[in-house]
Amino acid sequence: MTKWANAVPNRTTQQELKRQAIIREAARIFSRRGCHGATLDDVADRLGVSKTALYRYVRNKSDLLYACHEEAMDIADRTLTQGEQSGRTGLEKIQHALGAYLAEMIGELGVPVLILEENALQGDEAERIYARRDEFETRLRALVEEGIADGSILPVNPKMAMFMLLGAIHWVTKWYRPDGSWSAEDVSDALIELATRSFAAAPAPRLNANIHNNCGRADDAGRPDRRGTDELRTDSRTKGIAADDR
Amino acid sequence: MTKWANAVPNRTTQQELKRQAIIREAARIFSRRGCHGATLDDVADRLGVSKTALYRYVRNKSDLLYACHEEAMDIADRTLTQGEQSGRTGLEKIQHALGAYLAEMIGELGVPVLILEENALQGDEAERIYARRDEFETRLRALVEEGIADGSILPVNPKMAMFMLLGAIHWVTKWYRPDGSWSAEDVSDALIELATRSFAAAPAPRLNANIHNNCGRADDAGRPDRRGTDELRTDSRTKGIAADDR
DNA sequence: CGGAAAACTTACTGACGAGTAACTTTCATT
DNA sequence: AATGAAAGTTACTCGTCAGTAAGTTTTCCG
């Protein structure tokens, strides 16, 4: 029965893989061009198929958008749980959770989330996503409060602190490009260390992440070319490392 | 000649006022719904006129989008210059500049900027805006470097620090609503104090902004209603103060 | 093989929204 | 009051893109 020693996935897993690929690609495009600015033809082109092919894996555009959000929330919930369990203080838990969240979001297989355009999701789907997001934010705020209680975090307005962190993190999708010289982990480490220092009760006297140290600060003035159809801001031009081919 | 003792503005200034109103309203809607998700009918409705009326003041939709960006960059440049002149250390300059920028952006007459959807602007207009933004970011990075040099800011990757700040700031337009219990200045002060503490060489042992202190932390769990057509996340429901009427 | 389901394609339709044409109302000035 | 420009309206056109219909190729399995 099992041909090729199961090296080739069977049909149903292939279907699932294809659906995943659609979701990832769609998430990227939605988040760059905006949900309304992105067409299903764009997504299909990137995947090398025709638009109608997508409809075998996805009911319609809003179903796809919803799937992107669900996927992103899955990542958010999972990494948050990891953080809650691995850290010891509230501060550490936040750092672990959001570090993993960011790294995964911008990493190879991530679902670079979804700038929330109002009214892009509608009806029940919107309700479900908003409910999940609210729960996520509540848990995150609880970690801030835990940190304040255990003394690792300064007395701070938890909502404000949370919004600051989420802003800093989600903004990354606006400027980060994976083919730059910074890896997803580099960026994640540096950004989380920096952002959480803002409310650390005992802020470290120096920053340890690679990006804050071993990167020259001299030639940071260069700016990437934005003319390409899919260019997004990155350090590629500045560092002269990344290929300019996509 | 001058009737009504110039209490009523003449025609050309009225034109200019109307154009400004269009730009402000459009910026708000663009930034909420996304440029492609917003229709000119939406903008016109909010202003109580028909879509075609807008065309007397604006060449077309991309012209309007461009005007929004120019307006926002005007604010950014102006507040940055103020900051450069008023602060003493690099850190202070950044705090003054970005504090004023944020307060003005989300304040009554602000142009709540413009989530950059890729390819929303095109051609020369895109080039001009990108050039201005690049220059702004370069100046901001220079302030970070100045702060490192004068000892007010920790050695940090300036680009990373800048992106973190801009993310935290621009994200505000995603959750802030002016009719909540937090004023634009409250939010601005609290967020800037918090965010810049992340790289302060001598971070304060406590946060002084109102929001971090006099706001109870007990009932922060409530979430606003998102069903209304124009609802955006805010603390209105949580604090039970703001009107829910728009 | 053969045949049937799965996977995709090309060619369409229908809605929505930007922009225009042509007409009406408002208002300042003689 | 008369008139002409400014300000706005209603009713349209036309392109783009989501979604569908119908047909073609690929793949699995007896």
Lowest mean pLDDT among B11-20, B36-45, B73-82, B136-145: B11-20
Chain B residues with CB-CB distance to A141 below 8 A:
220-221
**B117: pLDDT confidence band, cut at 50, 70 and 90?**
confident
* Predicted confidence (pLDDT) at residue B233 exceeds the cutoff of 70: no
Average pLDDT over residues B176-198: 95
Q: pLDDT above 90 covers what percent of chain B?
A: 68
Q: Is the pLDDT of residue B212 over 70?
A: yes
Average pLDDT for chain B: 84
Instruction: Please identify residues in chain B, positions 48-67, with a C-beta within 7 angstroms of any atom of strand C.
Output: 51-52, 55, 60-62
Percent of chain A with pLDDT over 90: 68
Q: What is the mean pLDDT of chain A?
A: 84
Interface mutation target, options A29, A102, A117, A127, chain B, most CBs of B under 10 Å:
A117
> pTM here?
0.86
What's residue A6's pLDDT?
62
A7-31 tens-digit pLDDT: 667 777 888 999 999 999 999 999 8
Largest CA distance in chain B: 63
Summarised one tens digit per residue, pLDDT across range B96-109 is: 999 999 999 998 77
In a mutagenesis test of the A interface, which of B137, B157, B171 is the best target, namely the one with the most A β-carbons within 10 Å?
B157
CA distance A195 to B157: 13
Least trusted range by pLDDT, from A117-121, A149-153, B29-33, B113-117:
B113-117
Contacts of A219 in chain B (CB under 8 A): none
Q: What is the pLDDT of residues A171-206, one digit of tens each?
A: 998 899 888 899 999 999 999 999 999 999 999 999
CA distance A223 to chain B (A): 7
> What digits encode the pLDDT tens for the residues A50-90?
999 999 999 999 999 999 999 999 999 999 999 999 999 99
